[in-house]
Structure 1
């Protein structure tokens, strides 16, 4: 079986609250994590909520990275989705976790676009 991509769903706890509430800092570490993993950044959009919290997305050629922060809880929800096998999404996820000064991170990897290539080739040849 082959997959189109890998999607890391990370629960990041015990983070520095000030960092989680700093839009510029969050944007920088998200972009830097994409670049350090070898991804190609296409677009970036981040928003600072009132009274607190930041959400954002880094669109990469290989898919995307997203973050939603709850500074009052020291918590960040992070998704790193990469297509193909050139980029390791764990590299970006671990970079983010480190820079948020997290005390704990749990994550699940989901294989996206799971398919049997031989079946796809057969179906394509029928068309």
Structure 2
């Protein structure tokens, strides 16, 4: 399961706060019943395009990983929660909202490992995803 979050209209001060990103990555796994196996790694990056600077971080969890990339000058954050264990995406979204102020949020839930499904289950998953895409377009 892979939850992909794009947050727009974010608070620049929150996004530029490396300690906030570290705290999110440190606390979030427990909040969604995941097992953190490394401490968060958080970095501030200043690249050749001034408005593309930001804070990025990740934490390895037993179930896979969680990553955050912020762009304070653009008011944008992207967050990935990738797990081989099912989790409540709506609850995870609510938990993210407690750490980061976002005026607009877009999210997607991707199912991974489809090659391991039997044909009937795989067809059902594909049909559900097609309906989700139709509703968004």
Structure-2 residue corresponding to 1:103: 103
* 1:44-83 paired onto structure 2 within 5 Å: 44-50=40-46, 52-83=53-84
Structure 2 spans left out of the alignment, 5+ residues: 120-137
Structure-2 residue corresponding to 1:32: 27
| RCO comparison, higher one (Cα < 8 Å, 6+) | 1
Q: For the aligned residues, what is the CA RMSD?
A: 1.8
Displacement of 1:30 after TM fit? 2.3
Displacement of 1:88 after TM fit? 2.9
Where 1:47 maps in the other structure, the secondary structure is strand
Superposed structure 1 runs of 4+ greater than 4 Å apart: none
Aligned length: 112
Displacement of 1:91 after TM fit? 2.9
Contact 2:7 2:77 in 1 (8 A): yes
Where 2:101 maps in the other structure, the secondary structure is coil
Where 1:64 maps in the other structure, the secondary structure is strand
Please identify which structure carries the higher helix content.
Answer: 2
Q: TM-score, normalised by structure 1?
A: 0.79
Where 1:66 maps in the other structure, the secondary structure is strand
Structure-1 residue corresponding to 2:15: 20
Where 2:109 maps in the other structure, the secondary structure is strand
Please identify which structure carries the higher strand content.
Answer: 1
Spell out, residue by residue over 1:43-83, the C-alpha distance to the aligned partner (whole angstroms, 9 max, x if none).
12110123741001111111111011000011001111111
